[in-house]
Structure 1
Amino acid sequence: MQYKGVLRKMKTELTSQVQYFMEFEDDFIHMNQLLNREVGITFIGYQCLNCGKDKKIYRQGFCYDCFYDTPRAGDWIMKPELSKAHLDEEDRDLEYEKKVQLQPHIVYLANSSNVKVGVTRKSQVPTRWIDQGAHEAIEIVEVPNRYLAGIAEVALKPHISDKTNWRTMLKNEIEDVNLEEKRDELKQYLPDEVQEYFLASNKETEIEFPVLEYPKKLKSLNLDKKPEYKGKLKGIKGQYLIFEDDTVFNVRSNEGYKVNLEVLVD
């Protein structure tokens, strides 16, 4: 079977085990069904997710020009505390920024490689946790806009990490942590304007990933350096494909790359 299209982050569904789906323009692949099968990936070009042109991808699936132009790559995306739509102030496109920023947001704790704090739109729970490879997560604050979530995250950063060690996550070198206790411990550091939104009674969400075998020595596949690769798929975690030879491929980091994906006959 052969598929052709532009890579975008895989769609997910949380069931007893996470279900992964790769969507191309004319094709749809249930990735869980490819486990233990030989898969080939061939890089054939670029397609910017904003302008659609065959231009080298710079960051987040966008070419250089679009990355610095589209509101989908504004600084407030990575730094929610810079959000200004609640003040009616524009960054790149106020209509878009209001649509995204002025909706319920969650501040959460997720345990992927260690417990970290993060921010996401309420509509992206539990998708955001799955994308980060978290095996457990919990909401700690629900606020009406992105700015409040951002200042809450900034206040918590001195007391807890906001980063995931992707290598540790993929090796599954994890330990369970009581996130309810951690949530209660961190409450004292939340800003006053966020305290009323604290979620005192939420329970942890546990997530199981479709992995048959975890890698021991990671080798990251870079399509610019190695445009052709074949290997047996042994797992999917976060937005990574994990292969038998310890090669890992971050689908999200390769958004905007046009590929041929071939499922080889046994």
Structure 2
Amino acid sequence: MVYSGVLTKMQTEFSEPIQYYLVFKNDFIHVNQLLNKTISIKLIGHQCLSCGLDRPIYRQGFCKSCFFDKPVAGDWIMRPELSTAHLDQEDRDLEYEKRVQLQPHIVYLANSSNVKVGVTRKTQVPTRWIDQGAHEALEIVEVPNRYLAGITEVALKDYVADKTNWRTMLKNDIKDEDLLEWKQKLKAYIPEEAQPYFIENNTETHINFPVEQYPTKLKSLNLTKTPEYSGKLVGIKGQYLIFEDQTVFNIRANEGKVVELDV
């Protein structure tokens, strides 16, 4: 069966294992059901996730114009410490920024390739951890706005990583960590403004991904360079499709591309 549509990050359902869905305008695919089946992917165009025009995708699914103009791509998205809505200061659109920034945010530890610190809106737990391919995660603080979460992350990255090594994550070359122990180690380094929001009593969340075969050598599929590809799906982890020939395809990194899927 042939499906076509604009790629956006896979939607997920927290279960054993994680359930994945590719959602298009008029249809959706339950990706778990495609395991051990051959999938063909063909690039047929582009569609900016903001303006909807057929323009080359610059970053995060946006064309260059929207990436530099639209509030959904403001610098504070990737660097939450730059948030200013709590000061009533506008970056690109104060109404939008207040709506997103002035809500509960979580600073967390996740183990996907190594222990890392990260920030997400409370409503995105555990989705954010799933998207990163973390097999265990733990909340550290819950703060009322994005700025406090951002300065906490900045302070903690002096003592723990803030990036995931995607190759290590996909190879599953990782070890279990005691995140509760890490949380206690890092407590002293939380900024004074965020100390009252430290979460004293909680437990790790464990995540199981639908992967039947992990790759040992990775080949990343770039649709711009290779607009057509076909392979047997053997796993899904984070926002990656893993194929039997050790090709991996990052759905999130290809948002805004219009594809045709033959499954």
TM-score normalised per structure 2: 1.00
% of aligned pairs identical? Answer: 71
Q: C-alpha separation between the residues in 2 aligned to 1:235 and 1:109?
A: 24
Distance 1:261 1:96 in 2: 34
Q: What is the root-mean-square deviation of aligned Cα atoms in Å?
A: 0.4
Q: CA deviation at 1:111?
A: 0.1
Say yes or no: does 1:136 pair with 2:136.
yes
Match of 1:47 in 2: 47
Cα distance in structure 2, aligned partners of 1:154 and 1:4 = 41
Q: How does 1:118-157 map to 2 (within 5 A)?
A: 118-157=118-157
* Residue type of the alignment partner of 1:10: M
Superimposed CA distance per residue, residues 20-44 of structure 1 (whole angstroms, 9 cap, x where no aligned partner): 0000001110000000000000000
- Distance, in Å, in 2 between the alignment partners of 1:50 and 1:29 is 23
1:200 CA drift (Å) = 1.1
> What residue is the counterpart of 1:32 in the other structure?
32
Which residue matches 1:12?
12
CA distance in 2, matches of 1:149, 1:202: 18
The CA deviation at 1:203 is 0.2
Q: Which residue of 2 is the match for residue 2 of structure 1?
A: 2
Letter in 1 for 2:234: K
What is the CA-CA distance between 1:92 and the residue it aligns to?
0.2
Q: Is 2:106 aligned against 1:106?
A: yes
Any idea what SS the aligned residue of 1:199 has? Answer: coil
8 Å Cα contact 1:6-1:256 kept in structure 2: yes
Report the TM-score, using the length of structure 1 for normalisation.
0.99
Number of the residue aligned with 2:242: 242
| Cα offset, 1:150, TM superposition | 0.4
Secondary structure, aligned partner of 2:3: strand
What is the Cα deviation at residue 247 of structure 1? 0.2
- 1:125 is displaced (CA, Å) by 0.2
Deviations 1:90-117 (A, max 9, x none): 0000000000000000000000000000
1:227 corresponds in structure 2 to: 227
Conservation of the 8 A alpha-carbon contact between 1:184 and 1:200: no
**In structure 1, C-alpha distance between the alignment counterparts of 2:171 and 2:148, rounded to whole Å:** 34
- How far the C-alpha of 1:240 sits from its partner, in A, is 0.2
The 8 Å contact of residues 106 and 122 in structure 1, kept in 2 or not, is answered as yes
Q: Secondary structure at the match of 2:139?
A: strand
How much has 1:122 moved relative to structure 2? 0.1
C-alpha separation in 2, matches of 1:106 and 1:226: 38
Report the number of matched residues.
263
Residue 173 (structure 2) pairs with residue 173 (structure 1)? yes
Residue 16 of structure 1 and its aligned partner are, at CA, apart by 1.6
Query: Gaps spanning 5+ residues in structure 1: where?
Result: none
Q: 1 CA distance for matches of 2:155 and 2:248? A: 34
Residue type of the alignment partner of 2:35: L
Q: Which residue is 1:56 aligned to? A: 56
Query: Displacement, 1:4?
Result: 0.4
Report how far residue 196 of structure 1 moved.
Answer: 0.6
For the residue of structure 1 that corresponds to 2:197, the secondary structure is coil
| Cα-to-partner distance string for 1:170-208 (whole Å, 9 max, x where unaligned) | 000010000001001100000111111000111000000
User: Which portions of structure 1, spanning 4 or more consecutive aligned residues, are displaced by more than 2 angstroms?
Assistant: none
Contact 1:10–1:23 (Cα < 8 Å) also in 2: yes
Distance 2:196 2:16 in 1: 33
The one-letter code matched in structure 2 to 1:124 is: Q
1:51 Cα offset (Å): 0.5
Q: Distance in 1 between matches of 2:70 and 2:202?
A: 36
Secondary structure, aligned partner of 2:130: helix
CA distance in 2, matches of 1:89, 1:28: 39
Q: Which residue of 1 aligns with 2:77?
A: 77
* Whole-angstrom CA distance in 2 between matches of 1:184 and 1:18: 29
